[in-house]
């Protein structure tokens, strides 16, 4: 699981470049006091599919690969997120287990908000919900595009896309 090391770093500087960029200093300071900074090595398992959702991660540097195991045990990449994105929110909002495995795709720096701290941040600063809703809507649109392509694109096009991923 996540064998991460705390690192001395300016959390507010990282948050200014994260999905929280553009918010007031008060919001950034509050977010900084409620999060822990972790640095992880390539391949580190951040969370496993089926695990309890214990918090939300902001990618401050690097990228995270999301995978699911196939029937024969091989990992299939579902997607990759890079800084300044976040992940882990699905389990926080719906209370269900994690939907996929998340691994560091190279060295990464993460800002981790435990579930209770993340909810506290949202309660104190409801304006954050609007940013969340906008990005979640963009992700849902991208998902619909992939479903449409899977249902309508010719086989050769779908295979080419998978090979390029």
- 5-125 architecture in CATH? Sandwich (2.60)
Contact 69, 46 (CB under 8 A): no
Upstream peptide bond of 13 is cis (omega within 30 degrees of 0): no
* This prediction's pTM: 0.81
Q: What is the pLDDT of residues 138-157, one digit of tens each?
A: 989 988 888 888 788 788 88
Distance spanning both ends of the chain, measured CA to CA = 25
How does pLDDT run across 70-114, given as a tens digit for each residue?
A: 888 888 898 999 998 999 999 999 999 999 999 999 999 999 999
Give the residue extent of every domain in the chain: 5-125, 126-165
């Amino acid at each position: 699981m996540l064998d991460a090391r705390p690192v001395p770093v300016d959390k507010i500087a990282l948050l200014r470049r994260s999905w929280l960029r553009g918010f007031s200093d008060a919001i950034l300071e509050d977010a900084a006091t409620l999060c822990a900074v972790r640095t992880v090595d390539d391949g580190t398992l951040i969370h496993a599919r089926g695990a309890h959702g214990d918090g939300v991660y902001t990618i401050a540097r690097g990228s995270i690969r999301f995978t699911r195991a196939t029937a024969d045990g091989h990992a299939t990449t579902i997607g990759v997120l890079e800084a300044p994105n976040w992940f882990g929110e699905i389990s926080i909002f719906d209370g269900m287990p994690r939907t996929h495995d998340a691994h560091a795709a190279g060295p990464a720096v993460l800002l981790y908000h435990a579930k209770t701290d993340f909810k506290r941040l949202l309660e104190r600063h409801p304006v954050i919900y609007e940013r969340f809703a906008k990005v979640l809507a963009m992700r849902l649109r991208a998902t619909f595009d992939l479903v449409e392509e899977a249902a309508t694109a010719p086989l050769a096009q779908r295979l080419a896309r998978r090979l390029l991923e």
